[in-house]
Chains A and B, each alone.
Chain A
Amino acid sequence: DAGITQSPRHKVTETGTPVTLRCHQTENHRYMYWYRQDPGHGLRLIHYSYGVKDTDKGEVSDGYSVSRSKTEDFLLTLESATSSQTSVYFCAISLQGSNQPQHFGDGTRLSIL
């Protein structure tokens, strides 16, 4: 299994609070991704990174920010969580990005009340 750790695995919080999810990899892969999974939508890309301090937006980036200060860590932040951001969040990594399969972490279930 690819060395990807997501933390926390579960979190319950209240509307309006800030939330940070962490993705840590031990594979030294260049590309890292954040997705959300919702019923009827599959997985949708939020943000991705192609190197330290290099990030770009995905399909559903509104309300989310990311940071990557080290190769191994990719943080996803909800500055002011809303109930519509209740979801399961997956981190993925890829050695080269294009043409390489992505390997996924085990997901974080986030509930915003």
Chain B
Amino acid sequence: AQTVTQSQPEMSVQEAETVTLSCTYDTSESDYYLFWYKQPPSRQMILVIRQEAYKQQNATENRFSVNFQKAAKSFSLKISDSQLGDAAMYFCALEYGNKLVFGAGTILRVKS
């Protein structure tokens, strides 16, 4: 079975600072993809970043980057220069065989 674990139910960060959200996963698949989704209070699910498991290079999207450690099955999200608009629930997800498995989520609070 595929599982995704987010061990931090809540995190806080000061505006303009950097924060890292943790995610670990378990899968026996060799071909899979990993995603981070953001869910603001509006309830929309917004794709933040995507990582192909076969690529060693960590994905980056502007202020968002990942630290992908395949052997450790770890996939953390780093948000640099945090902004008030980054406050949301963040979900880590594993894709295999056309299906997504989500972690329980981490609430990120941004302090001004």
Interface positions of A (Cβ within 8 A of B): 31, 33, 40-45, 48, 50, 58-59, 88, 90, 92, 94, 97-99, 101-104, 106-107
Please, which residue of chain B has its CB at the minimum distance from the CB of A43?
A: B102
Cross-chain contact of A99 among B4, B6, B33, B103 (Cβ < 8 A): B33
With a cutoff of 8 Å between Cβ atoms, the chain A residues found around residue B45 in the complex are 43, 90, 92, 104
Tell me the total A-B contact number using a CB cutoff of 8 A: 49
Interface size class of B (residues with CB under 8 A): 20 to 34
Give 18 pairs: A residue, B residue, CB < 8 Å, sorted on A.
A33-B100, A41-B104, A42-B4, A42-B103, A42-B104, A42-B105, A43-B45, A43-B102, A45-B99, A45-B100, A48-B98, A58-B99, A90-B45, A97-B98, A98-B97, A98-B98, A99-B95, A101-B35
A76 to chain B, nearest CB (A): 16
* Chain B contact residues, majority secondary structure: strand
With a cutoff of 8 Å between Cβ atoms, the chain A residues found around residue B44 in the complex are 104, 106
